Amino acid sequence: MAASHDMVVSGVRPGKVLLVGESMGLFSAGEEGPCSEVGSFRASVAGAELNVAVGLERLGQHPVYMTRLGSDPIGDRIRCFMRQNGLDTSLVGTDASRSTGFMMKSKVERGDPKTYYFRKGSAASAISPSDIGSIDCAGISLMHMTGILPALSVSTMEASEALMDMSRANRIFISFDPNERPALWKSDGHMRRTLLSLCAKADLVLPGISEGRHLFGLDKVRDIGQAFIDNGARYAVVKDGPDGAYATDGHEGVYVPGFKVDAVVDTVGAGDGFAAGVLSALLEGGPLSEALERGCAIGAMQTQVVSDNEGLPTRAELDDFMARHERADVADGTMEPVLVAPD
């Protein structure tokens, strides 16, 4: 439901969505306990940009996904997964000298599971500016990137910069999710400087509360949103966990409450689902309140499954979820999208 005098994002037009990132094998523990001790794991596929691509495809959009895979069973599994989900594999390269990365994830009754990454020197870590230069920009209207790609290697850092430059040169709308992964960076300072620099080049940034706290020392969604605007972004969408989300252009803002679920199974992948929801609505010409509402719904749906992407819905499944689930009770009692003036 759109708020009165809703905010409309300028510069987004229908078209293909470009995503570049690392796909990995995911091995999820079948029982609670340390990954070193559990007896079984369930194999699936993960990767932030891949998750967003799948989410967009299921919602009727046209994602174009680039990555590099090893010539190994995990790489084969990822290609198969992409084909099964209707994703074009023409921009997926094979590196016979490097392996496909993978990760392990523990099972927990509540809270966030522990994740372990095995991606150093992976095929995707060799993505380079030359790979970016080979992309045909015809028909691409939006590029979505996360802070994971630049963290993988010097090569992917250069590729990330090239991706930003190419998008700007071709008037492609840039969406950026900081998606902090401290374990991937050589230092906290390097991570902070790089993410702030990339955020400044984006049209739209999609941080969470934790990233606002780390990058700016702020805790309130309105303060965080304004800080990202002051840093250079045109629009900021701040994820407020299960409570909802806030968006601003620095002049006005809109807050949308989230959706209630009975229990959270796994939070991993919820942010990627949120991004897919927001971007799909904007590509359809929807206002920010509708984009936030869709993002909150898909984020909540993704918390109901163990896999990083199995909870990503079709449009019919999304509409059904939104019709059947109550909205979150936020502090001021807001139950509908509300325009607010930034502090």
Residues forming a β-bridge with 238: 246
Q: What is the DSSP letter of 151?
A: G
Q: Do residues 24 and 102 make contact, with C-beta atoms less than 8 angstroms apart?
A: yes
Q: Do residues 102 and 27 make contact, with C-beta atoms less than 8 angstroms apart?
A: yes
In angstroms, the CA 223 to CA 228 distance is 9
In angstroms, the CA 328 to CA 243 distance is 6
Contacts of residue 320, defined as CB under 8 A and 6 or more positions apart, other chains included, come to: none
Q: Do residues 124 and 159 make contact, with C-beta atoms less than 8 angstroms apart?
A: no
272 is catalytic: yes
Q: Which residue in 219, 272, 308, 319 is the catalytic one?
A: 272
In angstroms, the CA 195 to CA 215 distance is 9
Counting DSSP H helices and E strands in the chain, the numbers are: 10, 14
Report angle CA 9, 210, 145 to the nearest 5 degrees: 45
Residues forming a β-bridge with 253: 248, 340
Positions annotated as catalytic residues are 272
